[in-house]
Structure 1
Amino acid sequence: MEDELDEVARTANFSGVVRVEQDGEVFEKAYGLAHRGYNIANTVGTRFAIASGCKAFTALAVVSLIDDGTLSYDTKARELLGDDLPLIDDEVTVRHLLAHRSGIGDYFDEEVITDINEYVLPVPVQNLLHIEQYLAILDGYPQKFPPGTGFAYNNGGYVVLSLIAERASGVPYHDLVRQRVCEPAGLAGTEFLRSDSLGEGTAIGYLPIDGEWRTNVFHLPIRGGGDGGIYTTAADVSAFWRAFFAGRIVPEQQVAEMVRPHSEIPEDKLRYGLGFWLHESTSEVQLVGWDAGVSFKTVHQPEPGITRTVLGNTSDGVWPVARFLNGIRR
């Protein structure tokens, strides 16, 4: 497998880390550079941003608040939003937001954005450090359809969830995720980092602009929010899956609810739960992330305990490698 993987990685110009766990054995390998300017190589322990893979962390923080009674699945967003974001339908609930069935307008609509490398935020990225600051980019998008009547993947909905969680708990969102998800799961290498202060052992995201590789520092919020932006390692991703299905983050009855299909997406041969993509017919669970200078996919099969994870610090490098791993699975 390794020789074939090397060729796929070379052809795709892949920069990142691959990790496969199966039958109690671990294969992992790093490719490319974490910092192109200083020629620093990626290692198997390098931290990478995972874009929308972060939605599972947001969902788990919210569900932990549901489990302790701070929120409920039927809590209406308006109860916490007050007069903010008036275009959000008053009937939108936490469950609608978790399942991408809210129908609210999306500030980052992936059906409209055709080139992730060209997209820029409508406000300076340094103004998006705290969750309350995201209100400036969430407002002004009309409701698309009545809550609960359809599925539409929605980045803004998960930022709204992070805002609701922060207001309901009284704990800043980034601290809430650390306390409710990372610490119970033992994810020592997982953290929301500032893009202008990533620190040692962290990959910088790169994208091709005008024929050269440039960093993504001007393309993403300076610190991630509810819809994406946490940094993690390949080993922590595996630890996350183990902790999640063992009920160490939220109780097992909540785990079952989160990986229960709430929507069918036949055009993608997938289903969706609450914060997690689901295989169309098996128990396989997936997290996927994509942004300027970021690509990520992890697939976990609970019954045999197989995990395949690919993290990358370019916009598209992960996908050929992930397809290769998918093709050799048992």
Structure 2
Amino acid sequence: MNKYMNWTSLTEKQKELQFSGSIHVRKNGTNLISDGFGHAIRSEQIKNQPQTRFSIASGSKIFTSIAICKLVEEGKLTFDTTIKNCLRVALPYFDDAITIHHLLTHTSGIPDYFDEDKMDDYEELWETFPMYQVRSPKDFLPMFQLEKMQDKVGRTFKYNNTGYILLGLVVEAISGMDFDAYIAKTIFTKIGMTNSGYFSVDELPENVACGYIEKPDGAVKTNVFSLPAKGGPDGGAYVTAHDMGIFWEALMNGELLSAEMMRNFMAPQEPVDEDIFYGYIGFMESNEQGVVKFIQMGYDPGVNYRSVYYPEHDLTIIVCSNQSEGAYEMLKELERITVNEI
């Protein structure tokens, strides 16, 4: 822990929430705090550590977006390329005008395979579709490819996982590589995220936290049957909180994208709510002076991930959790401590 900041309230907040997970705070290339709380594997009483790997659900959409931006930089496609021109996939009811930009900004109008208006819990998906068969982007296709458009192309922002599955298929079609291999080569290995990857739940490496779901009677179960067998373009990468600190520093130092592409990548594209916008980089809070902070979040049964990056202060805060609640509250406490000290 950093001796110049008072972390007492954080310890109190963790006890109050019974938070289980890992945190990492980094400023100007210096680690202020890295710590773990609770248990990675409860049955064995194995504790969460700073080096524990956690699934981060939709927090990993940013990797898919970077992959697309790299292919644009290489001249292999543009943000205005239509999906019909780069995918040989039957999507009979999807509008031919849908572009890469629409998918990146959740403005395509296509149906989401997980429609939150129709079901409350992601876990419900796997009651009728075997989760153990979902191990690559193409495995998601039966869940949406014969569905009809939900809205007109480009009309409005509506968060959409299907769009990122299609982006992953684009990455595979253009690069000639499996999606997870492309991300590993161009991001994880390139910048030294040595503990990160897309892992199958039946072939997990060491130091991985099990995700835990509270049942109605107060007991807990793991999320092994509540998620796809392997994460993909819309979410499900495993990382350590420390690796995500490395990621944000490398991204902002220009190690992943050119300066010109970074300006495009970080620009607000779609209004979401009052001072919240969405861009290729994800959610952001912005005012008249510019972006205040970039915001990442990921939520699945037994998974809760939150992260913010303050560009003006080069401050990164990362919270990974292997249970459904508590990460947001821990993030707000870390923001209160660190931002107030700037």
Alignment partner of 1:298 is 2:307: yes
**Runs of 4+ off more than 6 Å:** none
Conserved 8 A contact 2:197-2:238: yes
| Distance verdict in 2 for CA 1:94–1:30, change over 3 Å | same
Alignment partner of 1:41 is 2:50: no
- Rounded Cα–Cα distance in structure 2 between residues aligned with 1:4 and 1:119: 39
Question: TM-score with structure 2 length normalisation?
Answer: 0.91
Match of 1:17 in 2: 22
Alignment partner of 1:229 is 2:236: yes
Match of 1:213 in 2: 220
Give the superposed CA RMSD: 1.7
- Rounded Cα–Cα distance in structure 2 between residues aligned with 1:18 and 1:34: 14
Conserved 8 A contact 1:121-1:220: no
Query: Any residues of structure 2 matched to 1:44-123 within 5 Å, and which?
Result: 44-116=50-122, 120=126, 122-123=128-129
- Rounded Cα–Cα distance in structure 2 between residues aligned with 1:73 and 1:117: 33
- Rounded Cα–Cα distance in structure 1 between residues aligned with 2:192 and 2:128: 36
Match of 2:10 in 1: 5
- Residue type at the aligned position of 1:299: V
Q: How many residues in Structure 1 have an aligned counterpart in Structure 2?
A: 329
User: Residue 294 of structure 2 is aligned with which of 285, 290, 305?
Assistant: 285
User: Residue 139 of structure 2 is aligned with which of 127, 133, 153?
Assistant: 133
3-state DSSP class of the match of 1:81?
Answer: coil
- Rounded Cα–Cα distance in structure 2 between residues aligned with 1:30 and 1:316: 16
- Residue type at the aligned position of 1:159: I
Question: TM-score with structure 1 length normalisation?
Answer: 0.95
- Residue type at the aligned position of 2:167: L
Match of 1:175 in 2: 181
Match of 2:322 in 1: 313
User: Residue 247 of structure 2 is aligned with which of 240, 258, 277?
Assistant: 240
- Rounded Cα–Cα distance in structure 1 between residues aligned with 2:168 and 2:31: 36
> Runs of 5+ in structure 1 lacking a partner?
none
- Residue type at the aligned position of 1:194: S
Alignment partner of 1:324 is 2:329: no
Match of 1:257 in 2: 264
Cα shift readout 1:115-154 (whole Å, capped 9, x = no counterpart): 4565536411111112221212222332122222211111
- Residue type at the aligned position of 1:317: G
> Runs of 5+ in structure 2 lacking a partner?
1-5
- Rounded Cα–Cα distance in structure 2 between residues aligned with 1:256 and 1:51: 26
- Rounded Cα–Cα distance in structure 1 between residues aligned with 2:260 and 2:193: 22
Conserved 8 A contact 1:246-1:252: no
- Rounded Cα–Cα distance in structure 2 between residues aligned with 1:147 and 1:327: 40
**Pairwise CA distance, 1:246:** 1.4
Cα shift readout 1:207-234 (whole Å, capped 9, x = no counterpart): 0124311111111111101100100011
**Pairwise CA distance, 1:258:** 1.1
- Residue type at the aligned position of 1:263: E
- Rounded Cα–Cα distance in structure 2 between residues aligned with 1:275 and 1:140: 29
Conserved 8 A contact 2:123-2:227: no
- Rounded Cα–Cα distance in structure 1 between residues aligned with 2:82 and 2:139: 21
3-state DSSP class of the match of 1:110?
Answer: coil
- Rounded Cα–Cα distance in structure 2 between residues aligned with 1:116 and 1:74: 31
- Residue type at the aligned position of 1:82: R
